[in-house]
Structure 1
Amino acid sequence: MDRRLLEILVCPVCKGPLRYRREAGELACRACRLAYPIRDDIPVMLEEEGRTLNDEDLKDLG
């Protein structure tokens, strides 16, 4: 993922910051508890494509 792109992307639901989860291949929003997939180096920033984060995922976000 391009660092400059990561700096400007925000959660499409709450407009909050996103954390890049390299191993999972997704961008995660702690506030909404949603993670958006990255496919072919392109973030899929659609609410319906997001998956709900579980408690373990949230611990990883810090």
Structure 2
Amino acid sequence: MKIDDWLLEILACPNCKSPLRAEPEVDELSCTSASCGLVYPVRDDIPVLLVDEARKS
């Protein structure tokens, strides 16, 4: 997964607006909020930040 650090700094969870954390071993972005906890897929190095595509961690 290739997501630049500057992009990761500005990405936020579309559900709760909390920062996202990269999980490169599974090609996912995790919401850092304990109350939200959604995990978003990254496909072909493109984050899919759709709540409908996310799963609960």
Q: TM-score band, normalised by the shorter chain?
A: 0.7 to 0.9
Residues in 2 aligned to 1:7 and 1:17: alpha-carbon distance in whole angstroms:
8
Identity of aligned residues (%): 57
Residues in 2 aligned to 1:35 and 1:14: alpha-carbon distance in whole angstroms:
12
| Bigger Rg, which one | 1
Q: CA RMSD in A?
A: 0.8
Larger RCO (CA within 8 A; separation ≥ 6): 2
What is the number of residues matched between the two proteins?
53
2:48 paired residue number: 44
Deviations along 1:2-45, one digit per CA (max 9) or x if unpaired, are 11110100000000011100101010013211100000110000
TM-score normalised by structure 2 residue count: 0.86
2:14 paired residue number: 12
TM-score normalised by structure 1 residue count: 0.80
Code of the aligned partner of 1:10? A
Question: Is the helix fraction higher in 1 or 2?
Answer: 1
